[in-house]
Amino acid sequence: MNTPTRSVALVGVGVVSAAGRGVAATLAGFRAGTRSPAPVSLFPCAISCPVFEVPGVPTEPGINARTFAMAMIAVKESLAEANLTPETLASRRVGVCLGTTVACQLNALEFYATLRATNEAPLDAVDSYLKGNLADAIGRRLSVTGPCVTVANACSSSADAIGVALSWLRLGLCDIAIAGGADELNRIPLTGFHSLSVMSPEPCRPFDRDRQGLNLGEGAGVIVLETDASAAARGFRSSLRLSGYGAAGDAYHMTAPRPDGAGLESAIRAAMMDAGIATADVAFVSAHGTATRDNDKTEATTLARVFGPSLRFLSTKGFTGHALGAAGGMAAVFTALGLREGWLPANAGFQTLDPEIGIAPLSAVTPIAGAHGLATALAFGGSNAALVISRADARVAPGRPPA
């Protein structure tokens, strides 16, 4: 075995979305190709575009509590898979880095409406918000004391959070890092994305010629990372590794991706360089693929330019909707699962090749035999992020040497 020295072990994954609660249910849903978007039922809203809700989330009172609850579902599953008990966590330096968009904002509509009308309002929502910074709240719940911060990078938040966690492990700040993200369906982004005219009135169709926009979703995607020394000390062997992260800014527009995809390409190439692999080594790409006209055109043409026309790629947004700050974490989990299970789901919703894109995503459940998968994320503000996840038995060149 020749693993990159700068990569870290990926020892557990956890996920919850409309595609399923937990890895097993998600894989079953992916294989069956089932999806069930519907108008939002969680809160009153005049917008009838379909969304992907997660059923049966046990939620405590408080602002952003649904995000926390979904994050905990994914965190618990990932820790169980990693065989990390509370006792083991207590004996290690454990960091928490999670991304979100909704849960870092004081989106307290009821509180604000009352305050605006009367100049008086109870501060319960504010107190809940101040206790609810996602990474801090998860860290407190787990009683871990390592580095802890929330990434608020819009739709690339949790992909970047995984990159931040990787940097902590490489710097020696912690032995184990819980990374990814969570976001809940909320009236504010629902109305906001509707105002941008990027929401589809029908189930979304990523990369399809006739795509009409995105469906919002919700959920959480979390991976557990560990240094080789820590994993070896407890006798844990992982079949996967996080081997690379790259990010780049468009410096172009607040909401639209740079049309030439230069920022995304830089992020992808940086992640591959970090992992010590070449384009030919990438078996597939779990793409951001929101199903908006701009995102999918920019992303797919960039992927075609970097990897060539025979690339295997897909978006899972047709199963989950766009879960905003959770999207990158979910894509990382799905990439890990693709490598581990040896197959990928179809790109739900895709029917017709878009001539402006020129390449087609996977249209059926597809066996995968490669060693490296890549996940991408694009965001408001022009952020682009890419992650390389690898099989632990992959043979790779050394990654970028330390400066």
Partner 1 sequence: MNIRGLGVVFSHGRGPAALRETLAAGWRAPREWVTRHRPSPLPAYALRPDELAEQGCLKTLRRADRFSRMAALAAWDAVQDAGPAYTASRDRTAVVIATAFGPHVTTFRFLNDILDFGDTGVSPTSFSHSVHNAAAGYVGKLLELHGPTVTLTQFAFPFHYALLLAQAWIESGLCDAALVGAVDELGDVMGYICGHRLRIPADGRIRPLDFAAEPTAVPGEGAAFFLLDRAPTSSPYGALESVSFASPPTSGSAPDLCIVEADGLNGDEGPYRVARQLGAPLAGYAPLYGSLLSGSGLSLACAAVSLRAGAIFGADPPPAGPGAPQRILSLRSDCSGRTAWLSLARSAAATQ
Catalytic residues: 155, 288, 322
Task: Answer for the pair 249, 233: CB distance below 8 angstroms, yes or no.
Answer: no
246 SS3 class: strand
In the list 254, 310, 355, 367, the residue contacting partner 1 (rule: CB under 8 A) is 254
Ranges within 304-363 binding partner 1 (CB under 8 A): none
Q: Mark the segment that binds partner 1 (CB under 8 A) among 84-92, 177-185, 265-273, 347-355.
A: 265-273
Query: In sequence order, what DSSP letters do the residues of 9-22 get, joined into one string?
Result: EEEEEEEEETTEES
Q: Does residue 17 belong to the site contacting partner 1 (CB under 8 A)?
A: no
Ranges within 151-170 binding partner 1 (CB under 8 A): 151-154, 160, 163-164, 167-168, 170
Calpha distance 165→186 (Å, rounded): 27
Q: Which of 152, 158, 148, 104 is nearest to 129 (CA)?
A: 104
Q: Mark the segment that binds partner 1 (CB under 8 A) among 207-215, 225-233, 263-271, 310-318.
A: 263-271
Closer CB to partner 1, residue 247 or residue 337?
247
Q: Does residue 260 belong to the site contacting partner 1 (CB under 8 A)?
A: no
294 SS3 class: helix
- What sign does the CA torsion over 314, 161, 103, 79 have? positive
393 SS3 class: coil
Q: Mark the segment that binds partner 1 (CB under 8 A) among 54-62, 249-257, 302-310, 350-358.
A: 249-257
Q: Which residue has the tokens 């040497």?
A: 401
In the list 247, 268, 333, 360, the residue contacting partner 1 (rule: CB under 8 A) is 247
Least distance from partner 1 to the Cβ atom of residue 386, Å: 11
In the list 37, 217, 246, 318, the residue contacting partner 1 (rule: CB under 8 A) is 246
Angle between helix axes 124-131 and 109-118 (nearest 10 degrees) is 140
User: Could you give the string, one character per residue 186-215, with x where binding to partner 1 holds by CB under 8 A and - elsewhere?
Assistant: -xxxxxxxxxxx------------------
Closer CB to partner 1, residue 17 or residue 156?
156
Q: Does residue 248 belong to the site contacting partner 1 (CB under 8 A)?
A: yes
Instruction: Give the count of alpha carbons within 13 A of 331, CB side only.
Output: 40
Site size for partner 1 (CB under 8 A) = 76
Least distance from partner 1 to the Cβ atom of residue 380, Å: 5
Query: What b/e readout covers 300-315, taking b as 16+ CB neighbours within 10 angstroms?
Result: bbbbbebbeeebbbbb
**Cβ contacts of 85 within 8 Å, gap of 6 or more:** none
Q: Does residue 42 belong to the site contacting partner 1 (CB under 8 A)?
A: no
Ranges within 266-285 binding partner 1 (CB under 8 A): 266-267, 270, 274
Least distance from partner 1 to the Cβ atom of residue 403, Å: 5
Task: Answer for the pair 217, 318: CB distance below 8 angstroms, yes or no.
Answer: no
Calpha distance 100→158 (Å, rounded): 7
Ranges within 106-135 binding partner 1 (CB under 8 A): 106-107, 109, 112-113, 115-116, 119, 121, 123, 126, 130, 133, 135
Q: Residue 207 phi/psi, 5° resolution? A: 70, 0
Calpha distance 102→128 (Å, rounded): 14
Q: Which two tokens stand for residue 324?
A: 């905003």
In the list 12, 37, 180, 263, the residue contacting partner 1 (rule: CB under 8 A) is 263
Ranges within 295-314 binding partner 1 (CB under 8 A): none
Q: Which residue has the tokens 């399809």?
A: 208
Least distance from partner 1 to the Cβ atom of residue 171, Å: 5
Q: Does residue 57 belong to the site contacting partner 1 (CB under 8 A)?
A: no
